[in-house]
Amino acid sequence: MGKKITDKVTWVGKVDWELTYFHGHEYSTFKGSSYNSYLIRDEKTVLIDTVWLPYDKEFVNNLKRETDLKQIDYIICNHSEVDHSGALEELMREIPDTPIYCTANGAKILKGHYHKDWNFVTVKTGDTLDIGSSKLTFIEAPMLHWPDSMMTYMSGDNILFSNDAFGQHYATESLFNDRADNCELFDQAIKYYANILTPFSRFVTKKIEEVLSFNLPVNMICTSHGVIWKDNPVQIIEKYLEWADDYRENRITVIYDTMWESTRKMAEAMAKGISGADPSVTVKVINASKEDKNDIITDIFRSKAILVGSPTINNNLSHAIGGLLEMVKGLKFKNKKAAAFGSYGWSGESVKLLNERLRSAGFELVNDGIRSLWVPDEDEEERLINFGRDFAEALK
Ligand code: FEO
């Protein structure tokens, strides 16, 4: 059922309480998600975005309870990824001639997905659509986070329909940010930014500056996932500007994998050394094979530096650390430092390999790393504590 947002705008999306993974298994969504779609009823009736494919029939049936589908004058497709366009086919079967407003890239991608010659109307930044007492203005937002992404601004109600930007994978019945659990909300918002938007931070900054330069009043930001920012919507814009600016907190994360506990002992000793040297720093120790990969990425995003450890296995790294570093490389973190560590018995290549991987992922190496042969004893533990201390000192 729809939920009224203003006299003219109704939320007609889907809250997905059960979603645990997104983008295949690339992104964990332990707090569910939502696919937000909006129906505007002015002199013209406009639908903004749809929902993910598994909910296409439910979506269209619910939409029919809100309006006669034939009354829909325009469909706005802010972004063609299937979580927002998935119900288009089901909808267009009923209203095949309704114009779909999207960017030129959006039209290409929608054709590539659905292979239909729908009535696409391509728009650019600054193009407008009069819908009665309100006007829609389109703002292209390429690489936030796909080449086709755009936002739509509605005058009168002063709503920015931002699509993925400012969203979170967070299921909530109450819809508005001031009614959500704000600890959960911001945890999910930063996780979303860290895991999805980090590589596009330069575009984020430029786009926000451009939108702010329009001096448009913004009463609400209606995202395509999670809450609607109604209470002080500027707060999430400010957070995005902060996160896009090579974000780092006074935090060091020690990430490791271990076979027979030696690399774990190394990690714990080094964490001791770090906190001894710098009581102001937050230190977190994570076993990469036991913690969720996207939560680890969020910790890396928040850290000024990381220590990464793996035992040597078959002249290589453990799969948990190897896989994690592949993700880290793709996210193109900036302004972060690192060092490597690992236990070994025979060949002991892990630290050399970690150094190569960290360097190619854009991290500045603080030193050459440290290796421990077999199981650390008390003397070795002292050496590792000192390594952690020196690492923390080098970051001051
Ligand atoms: Fe929520 Fe890029 O799709």
**Domains, the chain, ordered by start:** 3-244 (3.60.15.10), 251-395 (3.40.50.360)
For ligand 1, the distance from its centroid to the CA atom of residue 163, given in whole angstroms, is: 8
* Per-residue confidence (pLDDT) for residue 186, from 0 to 100: 98
Ligand 1 binding residues, C-beta < 6 A = 79, 81, 83-84, 145-146, 164, 224-225
Nearest residue to 36 (alpha-carbon basis) of 18, 59, 20, 8: 59
In angstroms, the Cα distances linking 314 to 83, 229, 318, 344, 368 are 40, 50, 9, 11, 21
Instruction: Write the Ramachandran bin of 70: left for phi over 0, alpha for psi from -120 to 50, otherwise beta.
Output: alpha
For ligand 1, the distance from its centroid to the CA atom of residue 129, given in whole angstroms, is: 24
Give yes or no for a contact between 367 and 396, defined as CB atoms under 8 angstroms apart. no
For ligand 1, the distance from its centroid to the CA atom of residue 84, given in whole angstroms, is: 7
For ligand 1, the distance from its centroid to the CA atom of residue 280, given in whole angstroms, is: 38
Nearest residue to 342 (alpha-carbon basis) of 274, 258, 277: 258
For ligand 1, the distance from its centroid to the CA atom of residue 85, given in whole angstroms, is: 9
Tell me the catalytic residues: 23, 79, 81, 83, 145, 164, 192, 225
- Please tell me the distance from the alpha carbon of residue 80 to that of residue 88, in angstroms, as a whole number: 10
Using CA positions, which residue lies closest to atom 1 of ligand 1?
Answer: 164
For ligand 1, the distance from its centroid to the CA atom of residue 81, given in whole angstroms, is: 5
Tell me how many degrees the CA angle 242-184-197 measures, rounded to the nearest 5: 40
Burial class of residue 173 in the structure, from the number of CB atoms within 10 Å of its CB (0-12 exposed, 13-18 middle, 19+ buried) = exposed
Q: Which atom of ligand 1 is closest in space to residue 145's alpha carbon? A: 2
The torsion defined by the Cα of 55, 59, 60 and 62, in degrees rounded to 10, comes to: 140
Using CA positions, which residue lies closest to atom 2 of ligand 1?
Answer: 81
Residues 6+ away with beta carbon under 8 Å from 185: 168, 170, 172, 177, 226, 227
Q: Which residues of the chain have pLDDT under 70?
A: none
Calculate the average pLDDT of the chain. 98
- Please tell me the distance from the alpha carbon of residue 118 to that of residue 98, in angstroms, as a whole number: 8
Q: Which atom of ligand 1 is closest in space to residue 164's alpha carbon? A: 1
Beta bridge pairs of residue 140: 150
Task: Give the DSSP H or E segment for 351.
Answer: helix 350-360
Using CA positions, which residue lies closest to atom 3 of ligand 1?
Answer: 81
* Per-residue confidence (pLDDT) for residue 393, from 0 to 100: 98
Q: Which atom of ligand 1 is closest in space to residue 167's alpha carbon? A: 1
* Per-residue confidence (pLDDT) for residue 383, from 0 to 100: 98
Tell me how many degrees the CA angle 356-360-364 measures, rounded to the nearest 5: 85
Residues 6+ away with beta carbon under 8 Å from 83: 22, 35, 51, 52, 224, 225
Q: Give, rounded to a whole angstrom, the gap between the first and last alpha carbons of the chain.
A: 54
Q: Residue 53 in 3-state DSSP? A: helix
* Per-residue confidence (pLDDT) for residue 1, from 0 to 100: 77
Q: Quick one: DSSP state of residue 133?
A: S
Nearest residue to 162 (alpha-carbon basis) of 149, 146, 181, 175: 149
Work out the angle between the directed axes of helices 234-244 and 182-192 (0-180°, nearest 10).
40
Give pTM, 2 decimals: 0.97
For ligand 1, the distance from its centroid to the CA atom of residue 1, given in whole angstroms, is: 22
